[in-house]
A and B are shown apart, each in its own frame.
Chain A
Amino acid sequence: MMPVFELLRDDDEARTGNQILSRPGRILLAVGILGLAAAGPIAGSIQPFWVNLLVRMLAFALLALSLDFVFGYAGLLSFGHAAMYGAGGYTAALLVGQVTPNALVVLPASVLVGVVVAALIGWLSVRARGIYFAMLTLAFAQLLYVVVFTDLPATIAGAETVTGGDNGLYGIGSYELAGVGFGDPLAYYFLTLALVALSLAGLIRLANSPFGRVIQGVRENEDRIEFIGYNVQRYKVIAFAISGGFAGLAGGLYVPFQSVANPGLLHWTVSGELVVMVLLGGMGTLWGPMVGAGLVVFLEDRLGGVASWEVILGTLFVLVVIFAPRGIAGALISLRDDPSGAVDSVKEALKNYVREVRD
């Protein structure tokens, strides 16, 4: 965990302002990661199933983090992140099943495939803006979904099966690393937590880098950024490819743990739910969408049997949009800035909402 702390500690205090995550925020984050590290064994000793849930929450937190890097931070509304997630997942499934369970080989491969798929989709989509960009990414992701669902690679290669078609691939083993197996859910949990923490630290660093500042400028004012000397298209494609790498990693962590890869990973509903997670958590904060994703996965697991999950998620989403338009992260930040104003701001939000609905 040491490198994580090193990366989280930023001594270049923000003379330039608008820094992602202040110093107290980073300390809180480190505490949160330590808390999660402790939560694994505790949850496992109560009920082994909880560890399983925690791993899924972490995998989706990573996926939401990757989306927030382009959506919240660079202003690119991707509606096709399931493509990179699924591509990373299938890469892991095929490699673990047929080549090697070595995590040092498979996980980088998942990242790389995510980067390549994202670079391709990004390159084809970034000239379109806003909703048109979203629609293009959605279309490309659905295209990949159909490719996997119909097992097009097998048809082309003349093989019997590659992706397993609509059945998918199952019976996928777990990772190994230096002779240590990750078949135990708790061990897998620690592997996942370490990689998610590293990813977060890495993306925070990226967000504060010269590159990160430029893509923030792209979000703020795309027209102007070009007239101060930046190649906007190239910045967007690179940001999208980086994001795709982390989405691929999320898929690579999720699939061997579930020991199943099915076309559902790539379905547009995954991309859609992901956008909801990011908005729920608070876009542009990086940590907020992770909290949002964890919460959604948790609630889906706990409440999925009580009523139709879509109804619950929809209700939750509507409530957050009305009362906390900047998501969970936004609500927490305003609570910190003004703890006594919380009740007033809820009233204010309700009033605003009613007024806008009437108009």
Chain B
Amino acid sequence: MKKLALFAIFVLIFGTMSPSLVNHAYGQNDPSILLRIAIQADKQIVNQLNKNYENEIPNNINNLYEKGHTAVKSLERSLSDDDIEKAKQDFLLAMNSFMQISRIISQSTEKVVVVTISEKSNRNMSNELDRLEKYVKTLESISKKHNEIEQSKDEFTKAYSLIKEIRNQITVSENTSKNITELKSLVNSIKSELRNSIAEKQSNAIKDFFEKFLVQIDQKLLEAKDLGRDEIEIDKANELILEIRELLSKNQINSAKAVYSELKIVLKNIGISVKIT
């Protein structure tokens, strides 16, 4: 019996610790990855130094490189000695040294231009198109799941044709802005239509959810009234609940959702949390 009890405790401890153990083991799966990355970084830094300084490497950079390069050699030894902890330290030291060098190089030898990627002018048009295509594909897969593809087939075909056209324009360096705008507008329209058509199918699930939710809110509003909370807000909430119920009965799910957003604010003002149990 004692053995069984101990076994049960072992099961509990193992179960609790297993995810972290597994994660740890996975991290150690191939420590040579650290060496590969460090060697790659070392080579890249040597190239950058040769390119920017030739044989006149400043002392501070040279010292940093020596530190980094020595850490890479040490990393190699640590790995061959199976000293993983030391290998990790060596890796971080090497990468930190190379990071410092690369930052010094980009600050000192070039005209420093800090580019904000969020500015549209700095975005690569080809990448922008890749992302839009991915977006269209995501919408298409959602549409396929709900058998809505027939309805919006023409629009998807048009979107893909525009993407193809823009790619050609990029190849021949033509202005793509007009087509990009058209594509974005088309994609927004597809998304909007998709949302509306799926909302109808989604309506039963949402209706059930609202049903439970509104019953609880009714109860909470009664309690709030007993507690002497703001009556004007409580009346407002009751009106909104009525409105939601009416919209749901007419199957106007999106409108019900919009009113629900208003209701949430009112409930917050009254001090009612919106979570069904």
Is chain B a partner of chain A in the same complex? no
Task: Give me the interface of A with B, judged by CB distance under 8 Å.
Answer: none
Task: Give me the interface of B with A, judged by CB distance under 8 Å.
Answer: none
